[in-house]
Chain A
Amino acid sequence: GAVVSQHPSRVICKSGTSVKIECRSLDFQATTMFWYRQFPKKSLMLMATSNEGSKATYEQGVEKDKFLINHASLTLSTLTVTSAHPEDSSFYICSALLAGGGSGEQFFGPGTRLTVL
């Protein structure tokens, strides 16, 4: 149980285009999902917290207009990288909070590798 999927697993796009990444909780409902960014050989940096039916909460330094987050249902959150540039190339990972699971019960997706040419 507690499986989180991400789609796509890899995406290559041209500079200036927008890319949407989906995060789904497959066998549980998640009122809260998180989006992280990970640079090579680095730790995960929290970008934003996504709550179902409300606006996402962004961490300091993360551009809201560039990284659009939508949490339309209890099993789906999307991250859209708008007008992507090469510096946006990174590994994006989502996680979902298991409702009632207690402290720190986040389950992570397999990640999406974004490469912007």
Chain B
Amino acid sequence: QQQVKQSPQSLIVQKGGISIINCAYENTAFDYFPWYQQFPGKGPALLIAIRPDVSEKKEGRFTISFNKSAKQFSLHIMDSQPGDSATYFCAATLNSGGYQKVTFGTGTKLQVIP
């Protein structure tokens, strides 16, 4: 059962444009929503994260928008750069057995073309 759905699967954006990746979740027990960036052959790195009591969080060119009632959240990358080309995973976590268990989305491969 895929608890975190992510779209699109792939995305091509012109340099300077806005990249938008969407995610939806089912389990209302999730209490933390991180986004990860992964380059080929590397492990994922935490990019930005949000808690469900906040509707928006911005860090530099990266913004998370969160809609708790719709159980949806999205990542916006402003002024996209070729260096942003990577695979992005949304995730949702919940407390399980005393630690946070992470459920990943299916991933979005972003390509920013000059």
Contacts and interface: CB of A to CB of B under 8 A. Distances in A.
B36 to A, nearest CB: 8
Q: What does DSSP make chain B's interface, helix, strand, loop or mixed? A: strand
Contact-size category for B: 20 to 34
Contacts of A109: 43
Interface in B76-114: 89, 91, 93, 95, 97, 99-102, 104-107, 109
A48 to B, nearest CB: 12
Contacts, number: 57
A43 B105 contact: yes
Given A42-B107, A44-B104, A97-B99, A103 B93 contact: yes
Contact of A110 (B32, B43, B104): B43
Interface of A: 4, 6, 32, 34, 41-44, 46, 49, 57, 93, 95, 97, 102-111, 113
30 contacts: A6-B43, A32-B99, A41-B107, A42-B106, A42-B107, A43-B105, A43-B107, A44-B44, A44-B104, A46-B101, A46-B102, A49-B97, A49-B99, A93-B44, A97-B99, A103-B51, A103-B93, A103-B95, A103-B100, A104-B32, A106-B46, A106-B100, A107-B46, A108-B43, A108-B44, A108-B45, A109-B43, A110-B42, A110-B43, A111-B43
